[in-house]
Structure formats: C-alpha cells, structure tokens
Amino acid sequence: MSASGRKNNLLVAGLIVLIASGIFLMNKGSQLTESLDAIEFDDQAILERAYEDVRNSEEFPELEEEQIIKVFDEDNKLIQSMTLLAGDEINDEDFRKLVNKSTLLAEYSGSKVYRLDR
C-alpha cells in the first residue's frame, strides 16, 4: 500500500471515529438533559408537598379574603368605602342604609362598587 493510500485510510478512520464520538456525545447529552428534567420535576413535587403541608398545618390558619365595598355618588365621587372580611356583615348602620339605597354597578376580585342614585 502506498503512503497516500495509508493517509486516506487514516483520514477515513479518523472521520469515522469523529462521527461516532459526536453521535455518542449527542446521546449522552440528551440523557443528561432528561436526568436534569427529572431532578427539576422532583424538586417541584417536593415544593408542592411542602406547600400543602403548610396550608394544612394548624399553625397557619386559613387567610380570610377581604371584601371592599365602595359607594359613589351620581358624579362618580367616592362617598364612603369599607373593607370587610369574608362572611362579615356591615355593622355601621349608616353605611348599610347607604348601600341599600345604591345600585350595584360592578363586582370583581372581592370588590363591590355601588352608585347612589338620588
């Protein structure tokens, strides 16, 4: 075999090794990525479990939602507002009468907006 034939054979062998190495590394890289994804999933499961444990703990009572009631006049100027915890009733008799005389305009995100029509 001539010297140029050997060089060609070495070049072909080198290319085969290089291609095989690339394929091997690509497969290992995807396996590594899958392993990292699994670890992130486990971390997420751990966080979800810890959150549920804290929510169900007797040391942390349920947070009560607030309800904001705002009453505006016919010129859209705020007359009065009040913040209540969920389930509470309006204890202020004057404010209750004001709300009862008013028309409910909107209710969103724990807030109620009324307009007093005279």
Q: Is the pTM of this model over 0.95?
A: no
- Per-residue model confidence (pLDDT) at position 43: 65
Q: Which of 37, 61, 85 is the last residue of a domain?
A: 61
Domain that holds residue 98: 66-116
- Per-residue model confidence (pLDDT) at position 62: 57
Average pLDDT over residues 10-21: 73
Question: What total of structural domains would you count in the chain?
Answer: 2
- Tens digit of pLDDT for each residue in 60-105? 555 567 888 999 998 889 999 998 886 778 888 998 999 899 999 8
Residues 44 and 73 in one domain: no
Residues 49 and 76 in one domain: no
DSSP assignment string, the chain: --HHHHHHHHHHHHHHHHHHHHHHHHHHHHHHHHHHHHHHHHHHHHHHHHHHHHHH-TTSPPPPPEEEEEEE-TTS-EEEEEEEETT-----HHHHHHHHHEEEEEEETTEEEEEE--
